[in-house]
Structure 1
């Protein structure tokens, strides 16, 4: 994996530099807005708990750990008041699916670091079971590129975003190209959705990256582009074909 990082790193930085110099991609004016205040509506305990439970990742490749811990503690807070049950170090000892703990190390598991989308779904489901939380379903959704704006995939995603934001019916964990949303490298990243404004179509991300000091909002099309972006072909051998999201339906 270290050889892969050394080979592909120049590509990522070259792409980043091009967008920065030309003011394109996530460097476009008005592309992203940073949220200084959070959203904790009284009518949505799950959403409020998610913002309270939001943590930043502890290691370079551990975005999945911070994202899952955030969701586990948010759901736990709404079901039994145990908002701090899961920790980023403790969950790796309790949830063993896909050699999750090994994948967070510098060398990875057999050279593989991080969690591809399908494995993220498996880890989330086992985490819910390990911590004794109630849920109806965990669904892994791939988001194809270049589909019609009225496609069922996009329509369902918008409905789930609305149902999360308005009613707290479920959580959405995005597996996305971070550089499509904010000015950073175009690499696979994982974070939970924090809010959705149906009127403006803006999606707010509770990014677990420590370099992202505040939550940020992008329009739905940008959000979907980040989800549907094909990762660099070199990453396919490591399970990173494309992004998508995991939907945790709690009621």
Structure 2
């Protein structure tokens, strides 16, 4: 059965009223279309500032950056970062028959259904302690003898300890630092937990280079150490489900 509209026909709006309404809405339309910078003020891309890497040894950058690849799903930042760190520590395979470990191959070698599920497209992502545990699992699966030590800051009083760890890590490429942080605090964009790899520490300017695995949106960028600490301390919001309240830190892979 068809249902017809029985309401009285509406009188058309007077031309002046319609014009005023359009003028009133124009500023809001312009505001909605205002371009947003790719990075906020606390992130400087390596494409705009690479002087430190040209003037300093920067052993971590040269050891790990060749192995940093885009995360293979939107939830696989932990897999991408752990794979890059372990590949960098192991170095390029000596024989032509040996492949460079890929992210899917790393997951297969680790044989963790939980890690695979959390990192699948649309997966929930990992918590900080899970990153610690999965890193240890990946090292064991690859037969590597390095140990894993977490650094979990609880407040601004940990700033000195953070700088000390970054300074020690910058000495050589024999160790690596995985970073679990709120990405939006640094980039000024997406507000959520993320994992990447520390690529360098510029002590003179007190800033770190983040080797981003979220390469659909970013390239490596510098950020001040106090901002990095704030990004590790900010709890994950409720919109991220099981990760709500999660805070970050560093996962130190060392001899």
TM-score w.r.t. the length of structure 2 is: 0.74
Q: What are the residue-to-residue correspondences of 1:229-248 with 2, within 5 Å?
A: 229-233=234-238, 235=240, 237-238=242-243, 241-248=246-253
Matched, 1:67 2:103: no
| 2:110 paired with 1:105 | no
CA distance in structure 1 between the partners assigned to 2:71 and 2:237 by the alignment: 23
- Report what 1:144 is aligned to: 154
- Return 5+ residue gaps in structure 1 as ranges: 1-17
Q: CA RMSD in A?
A: 3.0
* Alpha-carbon offset, residue 238 of structure 1: 4.0
Structure with larger Rg: 2
What is aligned with 1:188?
Answer: 193
Check 1:211–1:194 CA distance in 2 against 1; reply closer, same or farther (3 A cut): same
Structure 2 match to 1:94: 109
1:114 equivalenced with 2:146 (yes/no): no
Q: Residue 219 in 1 paired to residue 207 in 2?
A: no
CA contact (8 A) 1:76 1:85 kept: no
Match of 1:126 among 137, 149, 152: 137
Tell whether the 8 Å contact from 2:70 to 2:216 is kept in structure 1 after alignment.
no
Unaligned runs of 5+ in 2: 1-30
Indicate how the Cα distance of structure 1 residues 74 and 31 shifts in structure 2: closer, same or farther if over 3 A, else same. same
- For residue 117 of structure 1, report the CA deviation from its aligned partner: 0.5
Deviation at 1:213, TM superposition (A): 3.9
Q: Say whether the 8 Å CA contact 1:176–1:188 is kept in structure 2.
A: yes
Where 2:91 maps in the other structure, the secondary structure is: helix
Question: What are the within-5 Å matches in structure 2 for residues 50-65 of structure 1?
Answer: 50-65=64-79
Equivalent position of 1:158 in the other structure: 163
For this pair of structures, how many residues does the alignment match? 217
Deviation at 1:107, TM superposition (A): 5.7
Greater alpha carbon shift after TM alignment, 160-169 vs 38-47: 38-47
